[in-house]
Every structure is written in structure tokens, then in C-alpha cells.
């Protein structure tokens, strides 16, 4: 089922905030889910293959090794899920399967050899028309032939879809209509104004309608918030160099220390503290730890950095935190529906740009902004990230990614403040700037879309 223009947005809030595993939602979380879906499809056919082979193509092969895609696929083939898997067990899989490739599979076992998770070189598939820049082909071999094959596309934020579906294939008609339907930001703002509430109120009311009670979403948001805070704490306790050989040192704890020791100008301290939190999250992500997509792993530090700092400083209660998360989620839903949150599809504007807009909107609301000001904060945040390319050095989600999140924090703060204190009406709507993001992404050359073949990714030797 494909979403038609004007159909209500039915993305679920907790799909934007998936608890998973670093370092990449599209290269780690998505492939793990796809591998598990392939396994389930085999089991539904009562198929226990002799061995399983996986071809990774496009951005999954270009940067997948640095993003841990092979480990994620191995974990998914075990039936493990991003939210609940043991982090250390996932990282141990290549070594474990090299020694013993047997994987429990229904009532039997199959064989998953690390060398059968293949990062194809561009020349090996360049004549193919890939269904998506992040494509994985799963094959079940039995008796010397391929018994079953399935292709999955990882479309950003941990979302996966089969080929043939268009970019709205994640859309499903809801079991019951949303209480307050909206299809774009204009209709979302109108719905919020009609009930005298926030963008988050609209989203939370729709979630309650679909869940049958407000409890399920609230419990899910509590888990997300706990995961944000736990990730920040782990990141702040860790020291040293991140894995991957790029020589990137962790610096979240150091920055926070400087804030707490008063070395940082007090006017800048809240931003610096939020940046320290963002560093902590992104460093955990880069180390393959447990993080929450917000809306992706690469951009996972901005929303928790801004919101956890604001919640601590302003003493936000649980309801205010839920509402802020729902407002941030609303912005993510709009971008996911009308453009993309995938670096492989539209570059980093879709990841860091979207996360910055989500944080800006939520912060503007926390500081008292009305729905139009909240929209404007998100618009400013995206507008000044338009054209941002994705060029991770060595395919690692470290440079420029980690510092880019810290800059996203600062931009989110500025966007919220600019919107709150603006004396002129905005000339560009959020809906319009999201459409521009999509067109800019469509025009962007492949080298700048999570392939590590352009920009900073190829300039390191000159530095």
C-alpha cells in the first residue's frame, strides 16, 4: 500500500525513537532487522538452509565494514533484535562464527560464515539498477542451489522495506483513523491550534487512539528517555580512543568537566553541557553501544543532548518530557514522509538536519513557543543544514559525524531562540523547506551520500 498525497501520516512515534545498537541505524539497525525478517521468512517456509549468503551493495558495501553491517547481519540471522540483543555478543560474532559457523535455525542449524557476508565492490554491481542505495540480498542455499532469495532495502532510521515499494512504502493505513489527522506541517499546526495544544499533543492523542490507551506510548517514551540518560552516563564514564583506527578521542566527559569547573562562560554553559551530552551519545554510538535513533544513529546525540540538558536545568516533569519527545517526533515524521532521514538517500541534511530540527522544535516548545513558533524553529534548523553532505572518513560514524552533532545542538538552540524572539513573520514554511531538502538530496551526487567517496572522506591524506 502506497501513501497518496493528502493521506494522513500514520508513522508511529516510537518508530522514530528505536532503541538499538550503534553505529548506524541504516547500516546496523536496519540490516539486523532485515536479516531477522529473512530468517522469519525462511522459517515460515519451514526452510532450514545448508548455508546463508548475503550480498551488501551500494552504501551498505561502501561504508558497511566501518558501520559494523556484517555483525548486524549475523545478529539478525540469529533472530536477535536491536533493542534487546547483548551488545558484547554482537561484537563477538565474527570471531565466534569464524571458529564455528553453525547458527540455530528453527529445529535445526544453518551455516553463516563471516566470508559469506560479502561487501561487494562497486564494479561488481554497477550495471545493476539498485532498488535503493542501501541494498542487501539474502540467499538460502540448499543442496548446492539457491532455494530462497530475498532483497531488503535499509531506508534510514532502522526502517527497512522490500524493493518495488516506493519511498512511502512504510505507510500503512491505520487500523482506526487518527483522532487528529495531519498530512503535513500546516495541517499539524492547524490541528494543534484547534485543540489549543502543542504539536506533541496531537501526536500523543493519535498514539493513544491507536493503542487504545495513553499508557503504552507513555511506557515506551519512558524507555526511550531512560535509554537516552543511560547512554549519556555510559558515554561520560568512558575514556580513550574510539575503535576503527581513525585516532578519534572521546571528549564528552572532558567538555562536561570544563563546564562544571567553571572554565566555560556561564552564558554558553547550557549549550556546552548539551554538547557534552551529545558527544557522550555519539561516542557510545561510534563504539557500537546501545543508543536510540533520534531519528538515526549517526544523528543520535542532538535530541537527547538538548532535551536532557533542558529537562535537568528546567526541572521538566514526565508529561513535559513526553510532550517534547512527541513534538520532536512529529518533525521527524514530516521529514520521513516528505523527504528522507537517510544519509544514503539525501546526505547528512536528512540525518543531522532532521535531528537538529526535531531538537529545535522541542526546545522552542519547552521554552513556551506556540505551534507556529515551534514550526519556525524546525524550519530554521533545516534551512541552515540544506545541502549538508554525508562523507564519513573511513566509513566510520566518527568524523565529521560526532562533532557535527555537537554543532547540531548549537544550531538547535539558536533556531529555538531565533524563532521565539523573532519580530518578523517567517517567509519559508517547514513544509516547503522539507520539499527543498528532498530536491537537494535528489540532485546530490552519489559520492556525497554515505559512500565515503567524496568530501572529507577522501581529503584526509591532504590534511
Number of CB atoms found within 10 A of residue 5's CB? 8
Q: Which stretch binds ligand SF4 (CB under 6 A): 82-90, 160-168, 346-354, 417-425?
A: 346-354
- The DSSP H or E segment spanning 64 is none
Give the Cα separation of 249 and 272 in Å (integer): 18
**Strand-pair category, 102-105 with 108-111:** antiparallel
450 near ligand SF4, judged by CB under 6 A = yes
343 near ligand SF4, judged by CB under 6 A = yes
348 near ligand SF4, judged by CB under 6 A = yes
Tell me which of 401, 410, 412, 416 binds ligand SF4, using CB under 6 A: 401
Number of CB atoms found within 10 A of residue 236's CB? 22
CB 152 within 8 A of CB 38: yes
390 near ligand SF4, judged by CB under 6 A = yes
Rounded (5°) CA angle 19-25-28: 100
Cα dihedral: 407, 18, 324, 383 (round 10): 40
Q: Which stretch binds ligand SF4 (CB under 6 A): 77-85, 237-245, 248-256, 384-392?
A: 384-392
Residue 110 vs 385, nearer CB to ligand SF4: 385
Site for ligand SF4 in 223-262 (CB under 6 A): none
Give the Cα separation of 48 and 110 in Å (integer): 6
Tell me which of 397, 412, 415, 434 binds ligand SF4, using CB under 6 A: 397
Site for ligand SF4 in 261-320 (CB under 6 A): 298-299
437 near ligand SF4, judged by CB under 6 A = no
Residue 178 vs 408, nearer CB to ligand SF4: 408
In this structure, what C-alpha cell is assigned to residue 370? 506556540
The single residue listed with the C-alpha cell 541534511 is 349
Rounded (5°) CA angle 209-214-218: 130
The single residue listed with the C-alpha cell 492523542 is 205
Q: Which stretch binds ligand SF4 (CB under 6 A): 111-119, 168-176, 313-321, 395-403?
A: 395-403
Give the Cα separation of 80 and 35 in Å (integer): 9
CB of 404 to ligand SF4, least distance (A): 6
Tell me which of 21, 280, 352, 415 binds ligand SF4, using CB under 6 A: 352
Q: Which stretch binds ligand SF4 (CB under 6 A): 107-115, 215-223, 250-258, 397-405?
A: 397-405
Contact positions toward ligand SF4, by CB under 6 A? 298-299, 343, 348, 351-352, 390-392, 397, 400-401, 404, 450
Amino acid at each position: 500500500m502506497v501513501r497518496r498525497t493528502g493521506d494522513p501520516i500514520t508513522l508511529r512515534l516510537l518508530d522514530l525513537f528505536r532503541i538499538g545498537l550503534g553505529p548506524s541505524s541504516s547500516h546496523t539497525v536496519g540490516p539486523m532487522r532485515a536479516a531477522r525478517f529473512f530468517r522469519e521468512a525462511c522459517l515460515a517456509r519451514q526452510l532450514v538452509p545448508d548455508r546463508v549468503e548475503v550480498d551488501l551493495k551500494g552504501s551498505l558495501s561502501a561504508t558497511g565494514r566501518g558501520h559494523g553491517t556484517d555483525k548486524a547481519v549475523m545478529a539478525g540471522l540469529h533472530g536477535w533484535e536491536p533493542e534487546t540483543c547483548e551488545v558484547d555478543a554482537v561484537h563477538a560474532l565474527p570471531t565466534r562464527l569464524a571458529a564455528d559457523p553453525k547458527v540455530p535455525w528453527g529445529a535445526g542449524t544453518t551455516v553463516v560464515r563471516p566470508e559469506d557476508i560479502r561487501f561487494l565492490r562497486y564494479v561488481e554491481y554497477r550495471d545493476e539498477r539498485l532498488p535503493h542505495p542501501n541494498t542487501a540480498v539474502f540467499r538460502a542455499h540448499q543442496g548446492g542451489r539457491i532455494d530462497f532469495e530475498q532483497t531488503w532495502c535499509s531506508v534510514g532510521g532502522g526502517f527497512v522495506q522490500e524493493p518495488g515499494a516506493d519511498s512511502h512504502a512504510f505507510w500503512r493505513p491505520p487500523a482506526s483513523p487518527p483522532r487528529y489527522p495531519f498530512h503535513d506541517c500546516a495541517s499539524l499546526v492547524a490541528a494543534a491550534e484547534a485543540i489549543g495544544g502543542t504539536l506533541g499533543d496531537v501526536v500523543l492523542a493519535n498514539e493513544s487512539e491507536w493503542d487504545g490507551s495513553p499508557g503504552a506510548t507513555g511506557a515506551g517514551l519512558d524507555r526511550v528517555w531512560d535509554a537516552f540518560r543511560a547512554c549519556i552516563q555510559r558515554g561520560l564514564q568512558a575514556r580513550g580512543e574510539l575503535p576503527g583506527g581513525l585516532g578519534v578521542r572521546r571528549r564528552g566527559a572532558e567538555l562536561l568537566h570544563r563546564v562544571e569547573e567553571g572554565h566555560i562562560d556561564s552564558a554558553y554553559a547550557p549549550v556546552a553541557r548539551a554538547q557534552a551530552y551529545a558527544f557522550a551519545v555519539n561516542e557510545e554510538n561510534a563504539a557500537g553501544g546501545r543508543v536510540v535513533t533520534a531519528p538515526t544513529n549517526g544523528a543520535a546525540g542532538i535530541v537527547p543532548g538538548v532535551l536532557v540538558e533542558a529537562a535537568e536545568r528546567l526541572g521538566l516533569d514526565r508529561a513535559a518530557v513526553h510532550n517534547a519527545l512527541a513534538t520532536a517526533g512529529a518533525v521527524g515524521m514530516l521529514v520521513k514522509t516528505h523527504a528522507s532521514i537517510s544519509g544514503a538517500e539525501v546526505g547528512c541534511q536528512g540525518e543531522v538536519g532532521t535531528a537538529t530540527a526535531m531538537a529545535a522544535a522541542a526546545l522552542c516548545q519547552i521554552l513556551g513557543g506556540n505551534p507556529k513558533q515551534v514550526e519556525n524553529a524546525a524550519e530554521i534548523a533545516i534551512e541552515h543544514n540544506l545541502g549538508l553532505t554525508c562523507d564519513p572518513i573511513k566509513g566510520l560514524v566518527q568524523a565529521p559525524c560526532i562533532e557535527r552533532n555537537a554543532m547540531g545542538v548549537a544550531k538547535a538552540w539558536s533556531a529555538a531562540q531565533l524563532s521565539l524572539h523573532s519580530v518578523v513573520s517567517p517567509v519559508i514554511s517547514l513544509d516547503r523547506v522539507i520539499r527543498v531538502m528532498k530536491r537537494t538530496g535528489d540532485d546530490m551526487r552519489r559520492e556525497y551520500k554515505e559512500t565515503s567517496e567524496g568530501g572529507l572522506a577522501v581529503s584526509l591524506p591532504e590534511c
